[in-house]
Amino acid sequence: MTAESNSEKLSPADIAALRPDTRLVHGGILRSPYGETAEAMYLTQGYVYDSAEQAEARFKGEDPGFIYTRYSNPTVSMFETRLALLEGAEVARATASGMAAVTAALLCQLKAGDHVVAARALFGSCRYVVEELLPRFGVASTLVDGTDLASWQAAVRPETKVFFLESPTNPTLEIIDIAGVAAISKAAGAKLIVDNVFATPMLQSPLTLGADIVVYSATKHIDGQGRCLAGAVLCSQQFLTDHLQTFLRQTGPSVSPFNAWVMLKGLETLPLRIERSQASAANLADRLAVAAKITKVIYPFRDDHPQSALARKQMLGGGTLVTFEVEGGKAGAFRFLNALRIARISNNLGDAKSLVTHPATTTHQRFTPDARAEMGITDGMVRLSVGLEHVEDLAEDLAGALKAV
Ligand SMILES: *Cc1c(COP(=O)(O)O)cnc(C)c1O
């Protein structure tokens, strides 16, 4: 979809050769004849044609313009191109939410009789799709301990078509060996989908590690200011043509051009925001580790993380989330959460505002205590999504709240 821009000085090839931060500011621009500086927001459902012949050519795919916003839209297209440039993917397709991206990436390629292997530690709604929704349509699924490569191998069946994982996991920040799982997936003739939300595209490149498809909830760090929902699927041109394109066009999980515009502008500042939040997260993790009333700190780049070597191998940084355990179980965690003044209680993450979650009673409430124990989620566990506030204000907020425990 290339609307001819009037005076672009950088060709797509020029932009692809630039460094990621620069691509995130200049990549994918479809500038209108007005020469606007900021990317335009095209709030339109449809497009008009100069002639019946042009309409015919466009439907035949011989004319590269737009047809209908459920199919594509210039603002959405700018977001997709820019994200694909960052990820090093051949193509990206935006969706209305992260869950729309996950569901489309799975359903577009699966049919009754197929089998999916997924890591047990999945985002709650992803686990619903794999564990409950897919089997209703005759797609069997097996959940494995994602950190154990032998379990992935043991779960493979002749009809296995998809492997699915997220790393680091929510909320225990376990690291799954993406290259290792990709090798097993490839040998099984399956496609590996990686949900890369927690790592963000700045810190981990699953495609480079051997994954076939990457999915995002852009709602999180890509927006980064807690405003809109959106998602994305990144894949090869072949996968788009064979599976994804028709599925998205015909089932319609399309993103609003407004939301796509917010995400497009979010990409411009993504490197700065991740750098800041991550530096604060690493700093706070170190301070929490020596604080009284904290019994455990989980942060992928700390030496006491059991998989810190793997984290360092496949990630460029430890990320923007820190998980820790407060003394006194649920009561202790609740006293701590309630005493915070800057970090607010929320189930969300990846916001400019620091957010704290008590997984056992919110995001993972629907699991039995045994299932939570199996996932390593304790009653005193707290997940902190570190925002853009000054790190000293956050440190004082955490220290103050610990006094209340
Ligand atoms: C939030 C999230 C999703 C779902 O994204 P939505 O935009 O809320 O639909 C999927 N996976 C992970 C890891 C998430 O954090």
Main-chain phi, psi angles of 57, to 5 degrees: -65, -40
Ligand 1 centroid to residue 201 C-alpha, Å: 14
Task: Count Cβ neighbours within 10 Å for each residue of 140-155 and write b for 16 or more, e otherwise.
Answer: ebbbbbbbebebbbeb
CATH number at residue 392: 3.90.1150.10
Ligand 1 centroid to residue 62 C-alpha, Å: 37
The per-residue pLDDT for 5 is 46
Ligand 1 centroid to residue 52 C-alpha, Å: 42
- By the 8 A CB rule, do 184 and 210 touch? no
Closest CA to 203 of 193, 192, 219, 214: 214
Ligand 1 centroid to residue 129 C-alpha, Å: 12
Pairing of strands 355-357, 344-345: parallel
Decide if 229 is inside a domain: no
Ligand 1 centroid to residue 56 C-alpha, Å: 39
* Index of the ligand 1 atom closest to the CA of residue 122: 13
Decide if 310 is inside a domain: yes
Ligand 1 centroid to residue 360 C-alpha, Å: 18
Decide if 208 is inside a domain: no
Instruction: Give me the domain span that covers residue 343.
Output: 271-402
Name beta bridge partners: 344: 355
How far does Cα 193 stand from its chain's mean position? 11
Question: If DSSP codes are grouped into helix, strand and coil, which group holds residue 54?
Answer: helix
Q: Report which protein residue has its CA nearest ligand 1's atom 11.
A: 123
Which of 220, 233, 351 is the best mutation target for the ligand 1 pocket, counting ligand atoms within 8 Å of the beta carbon and taking the most? 220
Decide if 372 is inside a domain: yes
What pTM was computed for the model? 0.96
- Distance between CA 162 and CA 177 in Å, rounded? 16
Decide if 328 is inside a domain: yes
Ligand 1: residues whose CB is within 6 Å?
97-99, 102, 123, 125-126, 166, 170, 195, 197-198, 217, 219-220, 229, 231
Q: Which helix (H) or strand (E) holds 247?
A: helix 245-251
- By the 8 A CB rule, do 315 and 204 touch? yes
Q: What is the total count of domains within the chain?
A: 1
Local confidence pLDDT in tens for the 405 residues of the chain: 444 444 688 998 899 899 999 999 999 999 999 999 999 999 999 999 999 999 999 999 999 999 999 999 999 999 999 999 999 999 999 999 999 999 999 999 999 999 999 999 999 899 999 999 999 999 999 999 999 999 999 999 999 999 999 999 999 999 999 999 999 999 999 999 999 999 999 999 999 999 999 999 999 999 999 999 999 999 999 999 999 999 999 999 999 999 999 999 999 999 999 999 999 999 999 999 999 999 999 999 999 999 999 999 999 999 999 999 999 999 999 999 999 999 999 999 999 999 999 999 999 999 999 999 988 999 999 999 999 999 999 999 999 999 999
- Distance between CA 401 and CA 395 in Å, rounded? 10
Beta strand segments in 152-266, E: 160-166, 191-195, 213-217, 231-235
Decide if 311 is inside a domain: yes
- By the 8 A CB rule, do 359 and 384 touch? no
Q: Report which protein residue has its CA nearest ligand 1's atom 1.
A: 217
Decide if 237 is inside a domain: no
The per-residue pLDDT for 2 is 46
- Distance between CA 235 and CA 162 in Å, rounded? 14
- Distance between CA 174 and CA 164 in Å, rounded? 15
The per-residue pLDDT for 7 is 60
Decide if 89 is inside a domain: no
Place of tokens 């008009």: 48
- Distance between CA 142 and CA 178 in Å, rounded? 18
The per-residue pLDDT for 311 is 98
Q: Environment class of residue 302 by beta-carbon count within 10 Å: exposed (0-12), middle (13-18) or buried (19+)?
A: middle
The per-residue pLDDT for 374 is 87
Question: If DSSP codes are grouped into helix, strand and coil, which group holds residue 151?
Answer: helix
Intra-chain end-to-end CA distance of the chain, in Å: 56
